[in-house]
């Protein structure tokens, strides 16, 4: 489940042969990482498709201002994905009406759904692991996911979460401590 560290570095910071080629390189290198992020949170192909689309729409709109000195493309994209998902949860709470929620979304066809189902299935183990982190706060869970599940370097995760490396370290340390304590408690109960 830990994704290749190269994934985030594969996309060039600035396109060598035009901005479209540069964006495509970042897109191709990180598409799996972004869909995986959402497939750990939803088993609905349409929802994964919508959230992935929203993330890359924001990414292409702000690609010109992406600064490689402030983090890798992967950390940048996961930061966007995180915000997209937070807003999605917020609107889902506000809008219970499915029809209203789906308005304006492009429905995916059978082929696309099949492709996303494969990706969602591939994340099954990651989803189980992610659910096991339920004892942690949302903030702590995110840190463990980015560093221990996706394989981001702590500095990359700090960039994705828009916190300082120091704050990230303390959050990671605290989250791992709590996980260890929870695992110990469960072992004791067994």
Partner 1 sequence: MGTFEDRLLERLVQEHGESLTQPPPSPARGRRRRVAVVSGFIGVAAATAAVVYLVGAGTPAYAVSRTADGVTVRISDLDALDAANAELRRLGVPVVAVPRTTDCRETFVTSSNDSTGDTVADPVGAGSEVTASIQGLPVGSTVVIAAEQEGDRVLLSLAKPVRGKIPGCLATLPTVPGGSVVSPRTPTTAGR
CB of 54 to partner 1, least distance (A): 11
What distance in Å separates the CA atoms of residue 56 and residue 28, rounded to the nearest whole number? 11
By the criterion CB under 8 A, which residues form the site for partner 1?
Answer: 19-20, 22-24, 27-28, 31, 49, 52-53, 56-57, 60-65, 108, 111-112, 115-116, 139, 163-167, 169-171, 173-174
User: Of 2 and 177, which CB lies nearer to partner 1 in the complex structure?
Assistant: 177
What distance in Å separates the CA atoms of residue 182 and residue 145, rounded to the nearest whole number? 17
CB of 46 to partner 1, least distance (A): 11
CB of 173 to partner 1, least distance (A): 5
User: Of 128 and 170, which CB lies nearer to partner 1 in the complex structure?
Assistant: 170
What distance in Å separates the CA atoms of residue 142 and residue 61, rounded to the nearest whole number? 25
Tokens representing 11?
């996309």
SS in 3 state form for 97-127?
Answer: CHHHHHCCCCCCCHHHHHHHHHHHHHCHHHH
| Coil, strand or helix at 41 | coil
User: Of 34 and 78, which CB lies nearer to partner 1 in the complex structure?
Assistant: 34
CB of 167 to partner 1, least distance (A): 5
What distance in Å separates the CA atoms of residue 12 and residue 78, rounded to the nearest whole number? 16
Using alpha carbons, select from 99, 130, 104, 101 the residue that is nearest to residue 1.
130
User: Of 94 and 128, which CB lies nearer to partner 1 in the complex structure?
Assistant: 94
CB of 189 to partner 1, least distance (A): 23
């Amino acid at each position: 489940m830990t994704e290749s560290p190269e994934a985030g570095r594969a996309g060039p910071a600035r396109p060598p042969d035009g901005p479209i080629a540069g964006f495509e390189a970042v897109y191709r290198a990180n598409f799996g990482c972004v869909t995986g992020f959402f497939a750990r949170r939803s088993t609905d192909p349409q929802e994964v498709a919508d959230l992935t689309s929203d993330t890359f729409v924001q990414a292409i709109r702000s690609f010109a201002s992406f600064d490689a000195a402030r983090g890798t493309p992967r950390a940048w994209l996961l930061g966007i994905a995180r915000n997209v998902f937070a807003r999605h949860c917020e609107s889902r709470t506000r809008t219970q009406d499915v029809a209203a929620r789906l308005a304006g979304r492009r429905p995916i066809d059978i082929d696309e759904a099949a492709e996303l189902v494969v990706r969602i299935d591939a994340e099954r183990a990651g989803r189980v692991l992610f659910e096991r982190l339920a004892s942690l706060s949302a903030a702590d869970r995110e840190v463990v996911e980015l560093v221990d599940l996706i394989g981001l370097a702590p500095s990359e995760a700090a960039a994705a979460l828009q916190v300082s490396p120091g704050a990230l370290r303390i959050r990671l340390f605290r989250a791992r401590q709590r996980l260890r304590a929870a695992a110990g408690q469960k072992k004791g109960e067994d």
